[in-house]
Amino acid sequence: MTKWTTANIPDQTGRIAVVTGANTGLGIETAKALAAKGARVVLAVRNLEKGKAAVEWISRAVPAADLELQRLDLGALASVREAADEIKAKHDSIDLLINNAGVMYPPKQTTADGFELQFGTNHLGHFALTGLLLERLLPITGSRVVTVSSIGHRINASIHFDDLQWERSYNRVGAYGQSKLANLLFTYELQRRLTGEKTTALAAHPGGSDTELMRHLPTALQRAVPLIRPLVQDAAAGALPTLRAATDPGALGGQYFGPNFTTRGYPKVVPSSDQSHDLELQRRLWAVSEELTGVTFPALQDSRA
């Protein structure tokens, strides 16, 4: 299938989808597409006012949309735990968890728990949320965890175990690359631990997408945006790899979806870096992430078992 679009999304009636960062960009387009196919969509957002505006925007486009707003600040583990508890109190089952929210290239900042903002939000917050919600996915046949990575996982990217929080020096591009590499390492390790379960883990990247993430681009790159805009795509197109990973009946656990022309195009299975497939790196990051977040996945076996 070379030109997969939202028209290919199967009926989602009766399914529960949790989408982080669903108030703008890729997240709002993902939520809209799922709602249009009948899913009940939980928009998990940091800013409730922006979340309300997103609900209104989706409802105008999809009058029958079944939407629920949930406050979630991935940069605060207390908020992640509170959100997970509230979601579980409302829903006995979850079919889709889409770890979409993220920050890119901000000035050096830390989360409420002292983690470097990109690593703490993009990876650790989603790691914790997944672990806390997984019990609602595991009994559901066909349930999926989809985590949004980036082509940036290849750019100046490694896991700096000796300075995970970039306390000695800070490079916004390198820190973003670390967080997006972590998304893939997490997905692949999670999928191995899910072997034999009803739930699968997949990843996606939007290529080059013209979204609010670009607001923190360094000045030189900001000036270049008008020149590179023809090489990128809008948020609706950028959301397609995520949507295919989440809904394509033929998608398999451990697959990584992205545009067929790297920065733009229709979604297909794409390769990730050799580093992202390093088993020891995946296991080490998993262990560190459990230690930093205090969240474990007791229902799953270590992938070496």
Active site amino acids: 176
| CA–CA separation, 155 and 38 (whole Å) | 38
CB 214 within 8 A of CB 225: yes
| CA–CA separation, 266 and 260 (whole Å) | 6
| CA–CA separation, 225 and 25 (whole Å) | 17
Phi, psi of 76 (to 5 degrees): -145, 110
37-38-42-48 Cα dihedral, nearest 10 degrees: 80
Helix (H) or strand (E) holding 44: strand 40-45
Beta bridge partners of 66: 40
| CA–CA separation, 192 and 27 (whole Å) | 26
| CA–CA separation, 217 and 209 (whole Å) | 13
